[in-house]
Amino acid sequence: MADHLINILAIESSCDDTAAAVISNGRILSNIVATQEVHKQYGGVVPELASRAHQQNIVPVIHQALEKANIDKKDLSAIAFTRGPGLMGSLLVGTSFAKSLAMGLEVPLIEVNHMQAHILAHFIEEDGFDKPEFPFLAMTISGGHTQIVKVSNYFEMEVIGETLDDAVGEAFDKSAKILGLPYPGGPLIDKYAREGNPKAFQFPKPKVDDLNFSFSGFKTAVLYFVQKKTKEDPEFIENNLKDICASIQYAIVGILVDKLKKAVKRTGINQVAIGGGVSANSGIRQALVDAEKKWGWKCFIPKFEYTTDNAAMIGIAGYHKYLQQDFADFSVTAQSRYKI
Ligand code: KG4
Ligand code: ZN
């Protein structure tokens, strides 16, 4: 292995995906994710089961990542891991493993903020994908977060708007649950929405000041709407599923785009990137493509595998910390709440 190559093994275990990736000078050599199926039957992530599954998965996932990258452990330059935010029991598995491995291999340890990593995923070296220039706006939309962030440099980020209650992914998942769809329902709403009429039904937009969001009222509106309609027609959901999903997606995407418009106006920055699980949604992706044409924005839409939780994004964040020689002490602890 040539000396100038910086090879980083990255580990992500903040929620219900056990993931490992190897990144060499900013280019992803492997990106392995073991999604935990055990939570499906409970309709949401069960923290105790998540940490147990991480314990089971972490060794095989890391083995696979190294094998696929064709990298020997002794050629690793550093170990990067997700310090937070996330579920404490889940974070502890990745944190402890990363520490032990770095100690055993005598290489530096790099701690990464999961939310910063969702944003920095845009800096992965990838053919056909441009990288944003600083400063730009990033909207992180996932099952746990909804934020608009002003990104001035790799690790200089300021949250300028965020949800006051539920995350947008929860609005998707909880709406899906009301429709009787399994967890996580976001991708299913997206799937049915493709064949439905987005203007079939109307859902109210929450009134929230500034650049903040609120989604708790949205799921209640969906619930009341479905209850009222099924009273009139017990088969309302079955007969209208595609239209309901299209209308829910249209409303949620509208809420997100409205706030982005406001953020662009307020900051004067019209480079907009999205990240997090909900950035896989076809509605928001299309809305950003349209925004480039309509308003002259420059938009950055991540590759699908870098939208939902993955270790490649932890790797790129780790790589930039490595370049700055920003290493963690071995006494570093996991943080369930960890601000950008
Ligand atoms: O980033 P992520 O994998 O985990 C968290 O950090 O939360 O995001 C998961 C969330 C879930 O709420 C899931 O329903 C949502 O992302 N999601 C989607 C789509 N794909 C994933 N929501 C809407 N449309 C999609 N295509
Ligand atoms: Zn995430």
Cα separation, 172 vs 326, whole angstroms: 37
> Residue whose CA is closest, atom 19 of ligand 1?
187
- Measured in Å, residue 278 CA sits from the centre of ligand 1 at 4
List the domains of the chain with CATH numbers. 7-122+307-323 (3.30.420.40), 131-301 (3.30.420.40)
Pocket of ligand 1 (CB under 6 A): 15, 142-144, 169, 172-173, 184, 186-187, 190, 276-278, 280-281, 308-309
Question: pTM of the full predicted structure?
Answer: 0.94
Cα separation, 213 vs 296, whole angstroms: 24
Minimum mean pLDDT range among 43-52, 60-69, 311-320: 43-52
- For ligand 2, a single-atom ion, which residues have Cβ within 5 Å? 142, 309
Residue 1 has pLDDT above 60, yes or no: no
Coil, strand or helix at 7:
strand
> Residue whose CA is closest, atom 24 of ligand 1?
281
Tokens of 311: 């270790």
Give the atom of ligand 1 at the shortest distance from the alpha carbon of 282: 26
Minimum mean pLDDT range among 44-48, 84-88, 121-125: 44-48
Quote the DSSP letter at residue 132.
P
Residue 158 has pLDDT above 80, yes or no: yes
Q: Angle 216-232/236-267 helices, nearest 10 degrees?
A: 160
- CA of 287: how far to CAs of 55, 252, 301, in Å? 39, 11, 11
Coil, strand or helix at 259:
helix
pLDDT per position as a tens digit, 2-51? 458 999 999 999 988 899 999 999 999 999 998 878 878 777 787 888 88
- Measured in Å, residue 141 CA sits from the centre of ligand 1 at 8
Ligand closest to Cα of 313 equals: 2
Asked whether the beta carbons of 121 and 12 are under 8 A apart, the reply is: no
At residue 36, the pLDDT reads 79
Give the atom of ligand 1 at the shortest distance from the alpha carbon of 142: 8
